[in-house]
Amino acid sequence: MAKVIRSIDWETFDKLRGSEKRAYFTRGGNIFHIIMSQQFDRKFLDEICALATKIRGISKGNKGVTFLQSLLQGKRAMLYFVQPSTRTFLSFMAACQILGIHCSEVRDTSTSSEMKGESQEDTVRTFSSYVDLIVMRHYQAGFAERIAFLLNQTSRPVPVINAGSGKDQHPTQALLDIYTLHRSFENYGGIDGKRIAFVGDLKRGRTVRSLVYLLRNYEGVKLYFVTPQELQMGEDLKEYLREQKVRFEETSSFEEVVPYVDAVYMTRIQDEYDKAGESKRIAYSAYHFKKEYLKILPPNAIIMHPLPRREEIPVEIDDDKRAMYWRQVRNGMWIRVTLIATLFRKDKDIKEY
Ligand code: NCD
């Protein structure tokens, strides 16, 4: 399967469904590129959650820190981030440092040969020659995927991690969100059967899209999409959920769902994708988590946010024990360590430590 698919052209590949592309992002049966959430199954999700917890434990002692740093010593990563980002960038950089990987960075292409008319594909391919891993954030949906496809045709492919691709996907954020849900519900039956509300700009929020794709791996979950009319979840994803038999409901009334959910996933309005300032005309304050909601939110429910936040969550809420967004940030670093270690087949060494 993997062999056949490797010989196809980009146009044919591009039209395949996520699940059909899965084999293309693996090598010898192991995950090689991290591009889209559809490539992950339940077994993988359970394994990385367990491994992340193990790594966190190992990192608590000096000996453990040295062990982790020795795992990928001498490897080099390129952080190619041409769309604004500081937190995800730093999270990946910290994750690389924990594993002993050296990082180089490209953040601004105005000083590169792209200015001389070189294609972005050629630029990335050139840079790939100097490194063992590419972590990529790009404003264009599908760009990281295209680079992974392109590198697969070369004699020296290196793994590509999608760290955010336009309005489309942000799979590592979704994996850290899964890890946060997993840890929060560890003593409450796990993620299976949980009711999760996604609130705000679901039309352009890539973190929600990637997380929703992952949630099809859990039994009996129920999703609520709480949005203004203008920012509803894309039809493609709703169609996917219908096919996968994942239950979901759409509503514009936030307050009504708060008492019935196990998790609330807040998002900011993604106005950087506006064409003509249309976000300003949307009454977004109805999609803010009001302080009063703390009284009606169930005691074991959690509040999540990928950050950065604006007014969606007032700072007073940070002290509530159900607020998980600062933990998400920390979990993100550990999940990225776990993913990178797994791509380089170091999972076994870690399990045996
Ligand atoms: C998110 C993103 O970039 O999509 N941020 C992040 O990676 N933590 C969410 C956002 O920008 O709203």
- Over residues 203-217, the pLDDT tens digits come to 999 999 999 999 999
Closest-CA residue, ligand 1 atom 7, reads 88
Taking only the tens place, the pLDDT of each residue in 262-278 is: 999 999 999 999 999 99
Q: Say what the pLDDT of residue 168 is.
A: 93
4 falls in which pLDDT band (50, 70, 90)? very low
Q: Which atom of ligand 1 is nearest to the CA of 88?
A: 7
Q: Point out the ligand 1 atom lying closest to the alpha carbon of residue 332.
A: 8
Q: Identify which of 49, 40, 19, 336 has the alpha carbon closest to the alpha carbon of residue 191.
A: 49
- Given a contact cutoff of 8 angstroms between Cβ atoms, the answer to whether 130 and 76 are in contact is yes
Atom of ligand 1 nearest to the CA of 306: 8
Token output for 126: 């050139």
Q: pTM of the prediction?
A: 0.95
* pLDDT for the residue 6: 57
**301 pLDDT tier (thresholds 50, 70, 90):** very high
Q: Strand order in 195-199's β-sheet? A: 247-251, 222-226, 195-199, 263-266, 302-304
- Report the nearest-CA residue for atom 3 of ligand 1: 164
Residues present in the chain in total: 353
- Write down the pLDDT at residue 123: 86
Task: Verify cis geometry, omega within 30 degrees of 0, for the bond prior to 228.
Answer: no
Distance 208 CA to ligand 1 centre (A): 10
Name the least confident of 21-25, 98-102, 209-213, 347-351: 21-25
CA-CA distances (angstroms) from residue 58 to 53, 63, 184, 331?
A: 9, 8, 21, 15
Contacts of 12 (CB under 8 A, 6+ apart): none
Host H or E run for residue 234: none
Type of residue found at 242: R
Report the separation in Å between the CA atom of 203 and the middle of ligand 1, taken as the mean of its atom positions. Answer: 14
Question: In Å, how far from its chain's centre is CA 47?
Answer: 16
Dist. CA 174 → ligand 1 center (Å): 11
Amino acid at 77: A
Q: Of 122 and 76, which is predicted with more confidence?
A: 76
Residue of 170, 310, 325 to mutate, ligand 1, most atoms within 8 A of C-beta: 170
Distance 198 CA to ligand 1 centre (A): 15
Exposure string (b/e) for 49-63, b if CB count within 10 Å is 16 or more?
bebbbbbbebbeeee
Give CA angle at 214 (269, 96), nearest 5°: 80
pLDDT (0 to 100) of residue 84: 80
Residue 179's SS3 state is helix
Ligand 1, atom nearest to 268 Cα: 12
Distance 207 CA to ligand 1 centre (A): 7
Name the β-bridge partners of 76. Answer: 102
Percent of the chain with pLDDT over 90: 88
CA of 217 to the centre of ligand 1 (A): 23
Q: At what angle do helices 42-58 and 62-71 cross, to 10 degrees?
A: 130
The closest residue, in CA terms, to atom 1 on ligand 1 is 306
* Catalytic residue set: 87-88, 116, 137, 170
Confidence of residue 85 (pLDDT cuts 50, 70, 90): confident
Average pLDDT over residues 63-69: 98
- pLDDT(62) > 60: yes
Burial class (CB in 10 A: 0-12, 13-18, 19+), 139: middle
Q: 106 burial class (0-12, 13-18, 19+ CB within 10 angstroms)?
A: middle
Six-digit token pair at 7? 């010989």
Alpha helices by DSSP H, 99-170: 120-128, 143-152
Atom of ligand 1 nearest to the CA of 163: 7
CA-based max dimension of the chain:
59
Per residue, the 3-state secondary structure of 36-82, as one string, reads CHHHCCHHHHHHHHHHHHHHHHHCCCHHHHHHHHHHCCCCEEEEEEC
* Residues 6+ positions from 191 with CB-CB distance below 8 Å: 178, 181, 182, 185, 215, 218, 221
Closest ligand 1 atom, CA of 207? 4
Question: pLDDT tens-digit profile of 219-247?
Answer: 999 999 999 999 999 999 999 999 999 99
Ligand 1 pocket list (CB less than 6 A) = 87-88, 164, 170, 173, 206-207, 268, 306-307
Are 249 and 232 a contacting pair, CB within 8 Å?
no
Return the best residue to mutate from 206, 307, 327 for the ligand 1 pocket (most ligand atoms within 8 A of CB). Answer: 307
Asked whether residue 163 carries a pLDDT value surpassing 80, the answer given is yes
Of 173, 270, 272, the residue with max ligand 1 atoms within 8 A of its CB, to mutate for a pocket test, comes to 173
Eight-state DSSP code of residue 248: E
Residue minimizing CA distance to atom 11 of ligand 1 = 308
pLDDT band at 46 (very low <50, low <70, confident <90, very high): very high
Determine the distance separating the centroid of ligand 1 and the alpha carbon of 7, expressed in angstroms. Answer: 34
